[in-house]
Chain A
Amino acid sequence: MSTVVAPSTMRVTSARRRTVTRAAIFVAMVIMAIVMLYPFFVMLIDSFKTENQYLAGHGTSTQSWHQLTTTMPVYQQLLNSTIVCTASIAIILVVGVMAGFAFAKLQYRFGNLVFLGMVSAMMVPLQAILIPEYVNVAKFGLTNGYLGAVLVYAALGTPFAIFLFTTYFRRVPDELIEAGICDGLGYWGVLWRLALPMALPAIATVTVLQFIQIWDDLLVGLLFLQNPAERPITVGLAALAAGRTTSIPQLMAGSLVSALPAMIVYLGFQRFLVRGLTLGIDR
């Protein structure tokens, strides 16, 4: 008789406990969210103060926002960041897709070796090659203009892109490629007309990750885009922070402006990010 009674009481208890647990988890997630969102709170609140209000600790005003454009050429810098990001990502995508497809499906002698070389280039930290890189770029006069920085960003981002694209293209069935061949395409045509449309999620993933990486980068911009007219926004922000007379609210306003595009791109593409990472890691 007790065996008949026990299961039902057990069920009730665990259901209640489950709800409590879930509620606790929810609370914990909210707390975590507050912590993670803290920088944004700060930026929002503090940017809407004047210097004095900030020091005093209360008050709101949009003055710092108005002043931002005079202290820092925001629009110009945003434009610079956009140009550099777009150009670098374009190169990374084109070079990466081509190489990824080749490594995945077009075997040739020593191909595997080259692939290994590409992938291990992922492990090279920027600082290791920074000095020679700077010297080379300066020698070719490329510290003026975007090209130098774009090339550096492209070179840094390509290995990872190749890694992801190769993994992705490996999943394209060989039969599909053979069907394309029989239908009259060359391998070049197979890549652009058949394989590429299937790789859109991977492209989105690479785009998001590289965008965040390049948009948020400081070091390359600092060294390779020294012309103030070409400064990306991160460098502008850092310069502002290093200045003696900078007001914190303005700095916060500038930070918000800098952070917004990356956030928007991330939020817009995050579906692909999850899918792409799953593919890349789960091999």
Chain B
Amino acid sequence: MTTSPTLSLADAPRRARRPSTSLLTRRRRRVGVLLTVPAFVLVGLLIVYPIGQAIYYSMTYWDGLTTTWVGPSTWWQALNNPTMWRALENNALLLLSVPFALAIPLAVAVMLHQRVAGWKVFRSIYFLPTAISWVVIGLVAEHFFAYSGTLNSLLGHVGLSHVHTDMLGSESTALIALGITFVFSTIGTNTMIFLTGLATLDTSLEEAARIDGAGSWRIFRHITLPHLSRFIQLAFVMTVISAFSALFSLIFVMTGGGPGYSTTTMEFLVYQTGFNQSQFGTAALYGLILFFITAVVGIVQLRLIGAKD
């Protein structure tokens, strides 16, 4: 064994490096692949493959019995279908509730974050409605908004009985009722998200600002809010996607899409077209449009988050 004084790398003899993959590395790769196969198969077969199928179906005329390939012209037809546009319009209107679905949880989270006595109990309570089915909430909401329902009796107690409405029976207000219920249901989730965000905020920042003389509002605006921006974005994406896909249960139970088409959103339209009207091809197409919208929202958000970081 020689001692090698300051050999420089230039002196090292050149040797053909035979590509060697150690046994351990090979095993690691093999086990890695094997462990992902079940997920790959499950998700691939049941989620990815059907997307391709949906694209195919969307271009057929199919009434449940016979399938006729029509081609992309179905897409033009759909674009000309006023019902679809109505549904999209409803979705868009519902988006107006998103700011509320973000602002209220934010306020609640800030409140909880103050750690006033019993806040943990309150936190559990606020999340409870999220734990129960939208079907249940929808039933209760229907009861609330009905003509003989609680809303009206409350108004009556306050002396506003002349304002009695039948929110669910009138085209112009049904969607609003839906929106309110939607906001109610998402308060729990978003509060949780914001609370998590607040918990990760470094208190020393806040303390430093207080020493510098900043008031609570200023601290909120310049320290708390910027830190929460990541969480607000997450909540925003989740709420929007929820608004496009999760309202089915509410609509089914509260209004059935009506009156007229005033509460028919895209996610309900897919069901209606496919299973009530047996137009599978068109329904598949609507489903794809829905996917397109949520994908765009997701990607746009990713870009925004990526750009900021």
Do these two chains interact? yes
Show the binding face of A for B, using Cβ within 8 Å: 22, 25-26, 28-29, 32-33, 36-40, 42-43, 46, 91, 94-96, 98-99, 101-103, 106-109, 111, 114, 117-118, 121, 123-136, 151-152, 154-156, 158-159, 162, 181, 186-188, 191, 212, 215-219, 223, 234, 237-238, 241-242, 248, 251-252, 255, 258-259, 262-263, 265-267, 270, 273-274, 277-278, 281-282
Q: Do B234 and A129 touch (CB < 8 A)? A: no
B196 at the interface (CB under 8 A from A): yes
Q: Do B128 and A215 touch (CB < 8 A)? A: no
In whole Å, how far is B204's beta carbon from the nearest beta carbon of chain A? 18
Q: Do A162 and B39 touch (CB < 8 A)? A: yes
| 28 A-B pairs in the complex with CB atoms less than 8 angstroms apart | A25-B116, A26-B116, A26-B117, A36-B129, A37-B125, A39-B129, A91-B42, A98-B35, A102-B31, A102-B33, A106-B28, A106-B29, A106-B35, A121-B43, A123-B298, A127-B291, A129-B51, A131-B270, A132-B49, A135-B57, A186-B27, A187-B28, A191-B35, A216-B135, A237-B139, A238-B249, A241-B142, A281-B196
Given A108-B32, A188-B31, A270-B124, A29 and B133 contact (CB-CB distance below 8 Å): no
Given A131-B270, A281-B234, A29 and B112 contact (CB-CB distance below 8 Å): yes
- When the two chains form the complex, which single residue of A28, A216, A223 contacts B133, counting CB atoms closer than 8 Å? A216
Q: Do A282 and B133 touch (CB < 8 A)? A: no
Q: Which residues of B contact A218 (CB under 8 A)?
A: 133-135, 248-249, 252-253
Q: Do A123 and B294 touch (CB < 8 A)? A: yes
Chain B positions 188 through 203: 1 when the CB is less than 8 Å from some CB of chain A, otherwise 0? 1000110011011000
In whole Å, how far is A187's beta carbon from the nearest beta carbon of chain B? 4
Number of interface residues of B (CB under 8 A): 88
B85 at the interface (CB under 8 A from A): no
B130 at the interface (CB under 8 A from A): yes
- When the two chains form the complex, which single residue of B133, B241, B284 contacts A123, counting CB atoms closer than 8 Å? B241
Chain B positions 121 through 162: 1 when the CB is less than 8 Å from some CB of chain A, otherwise 0? 010111111111111110110111000001000000000000
B280 at the interface (CB under 8 A from A): yes
B245 at the interface (CB under 8 A from A): yes
Q: Do A130 and B129 touch (CB < 8 A)? A: no
Given A43-B140, A216-B133, A218-B133, A223 and B128 contact (CB-CB distance below 8 Å): no
Show the binding face of B for A, using Cβ within 8 Å: 24, 27-29, 31-33, 35-36, 38-40, 42-43, 45-51, 53-54, 57, 108, 111-112, 114, 116-119, 122, 124-137, 139-140, 142-144, 150, 187-188, 192-193, 196-197, 199-200, 231, 234, 241, 244-245, 248-249, 252-253, 256, 266-267, 270-271, 274-275, 280, 283-284, 286-288, 290-291, 294-295, 298
- When the two chains form the complex, which single residue of B32, B40, B57, B196 contacts A282, counting CB atoms closer than 8 Å? B196
- When the two chains form the complex, which single residue of B48, B111, B150, B188 contacts A42, counting CB atoms closer than 8 Å? B150
Task: State in angstroms the CA–CA spacing of A39 and B181 once bound together.
Answer: 11
Q: Do A131 and B57 touch (CB < 8 A)? A: yes
Q: Which residues of A contact B124 (CB under 8 A)?
A: 267, 270
Q: Do A99 and B200 touch (CB < 8 A)? A: no
In whole Å, how far is A264's beta carbon from the nearest beta carbon of chain B? 9
**Least CB separation from A102: chain B residue:** B35
Q: Which residues of B contact A37 (CB under 8 A)?
A: 125, 128
Q: Which residues of A contact B119 (CB under 8 A)?
A: 29
Q: Which residues of A contact B142 (CB under 8 A)?
A: 241
Q: Which residues of A contact B40 (CB under 8 A)?
A: 99, 114, 118
Q: Do A277 and B192 touch (CB < 8 A)? A: yes
Q: Do A216 and B132 touch (CB < 8 A)? A: yes
- When the two chains form the complex, which single residue of A33, A130, A152 contacts B270, counting CB atoms closer than 8 Å? A130
Known contacts A187-B31, A216-B134, A265-B131; 8 additional CB pairs below 8 A are A106-B28, A109-B29, A118-B40, A121-B47, A125-B245, A126-B245, A186-B31, A216-B249
